[in-house]
Amino acid sequence: MEKITGLIDAPFTPMFPDGDINLEPIPRYAAMLAKNGLKGVFINGSSGEGYMLTPQERKALSEAWVKAVPDGFKVIVHVGSCCLRESVELARHAAAIGAWGIGSMAPPFPKIGRIEELVKYCEAIAAAAPELPFYYYHIPAFNGAFLPMLDLLEAVDGRIPNFAGIKYTFESLYEYNQCRLYKDGKYDMLHGQDETYLASLAQGGAEGGICGTTNYNGREQVAIGEAWKAGDLETAREKQNFSQAVINVICNFRGNIVGGKRIMKLIGLDLGPNRVPFRNMTDEEEAAMKAQLDAIGFFGRCNQF
């Protein structure tokens, strides 16, 4: 099964002021990401407020992205839901419209507490689109599924034929590396923490990753990997430190989903508000965030259109 090389972006969902989804910006959005070195998108995930969208909205977004991306640009559709039948329906739809792959995190309710429960959940979704690679999205801070991922790989091995790997968004670089080493790298371990990308490269992994801050800081995040491959450790370190400085700013403004989405407006692509219960930024907060970004030289290094 093909392994992903390069960084995949986790895009925001464009919305009108009233909270309805807005498909119009997606072609420009896709072109911008490709221009800045991204290799695909992982849509309808946490950055995209996927669990707050209706199935019809998620299908419309999937169709719009598949139509908008340039040749060779991967579209992976997050199909996770608290309703497994809905996830199966979304997986079938993703296959029917020509998506490159599918993925799912564990549902936030009911919480999954055993590996076997998680395997059965993934198995049903993956079987709905057997021709597509399936990625498990490990982000336990969002759903409480603090389960050992090496155990998951051992459990799915030989049981889910199209299980491609894990989008690993957790703090344990040790566990990440143990998963990467499983059976000489059998599974694709996509690094999911932008702030520690360089550390994963140093372990010998992270040929691919899925990032949220690449929506606006993609040039710099991509350049971390390029510098590492060129043997320029000092440049790689500087760019990773800059990535962390950007993350420090968005953490002051309710994180990537809220603060990051508003940064898109500041760089020239207004993607609208977040849905309730997210608390949208005020104009005063936007001005304060812009000042903090100015202070670190962000606008000279951010994504360009």
User: What are the residue numbers of the active site?
Assistant: 137, 167
Sign of the CA dihedral with 42 first, then 47, 51, and 55 last = negative
**Are 260 and 215 in contact, with CB atoms under 8 Å apart?**
yes
* Backbone φ and ψ of 257, nearest 5°: -65, -40
DSSP 105: E
Would you mind telling me the total number of residues written for the chain in this entry?
305
Task: Tell me whether strands 163-168 and 134-138 are parallel, antiparallel or unpaired.
Answer: parallel
* Inter-residue long-range contacts of 14-23, CB under 8 Å, 24+ positions, other chains counted: 14/271, 14/272, 15/271, 15/272, 15/273, 15/274, 15/275, 16/272, 17/272, 17/273, 19/272, 19/273, 19/275, 19/276, 21/53, 21/57, 21/60, 21/61, 22/271, 22/272, 23/60, 23/61, 23/64
Query: If we measure between CA atoms, which residue out of 155, 195, 205 comes closest to residue 175?
Result: 205
Q: What is the distance between the alpha carbons of residues 227 and 230, in angstroms, rounded to a whole number?
A: 5
Q: Cα 168 to chain center, whole Å?
A: 10
The alpha carbon torsion through 168, 173, 174, 179 (nearest 10 deg) reads 30
- The single residue listed with the structure tokens 């221009």 is 35
**What type of residue is 274?**
N
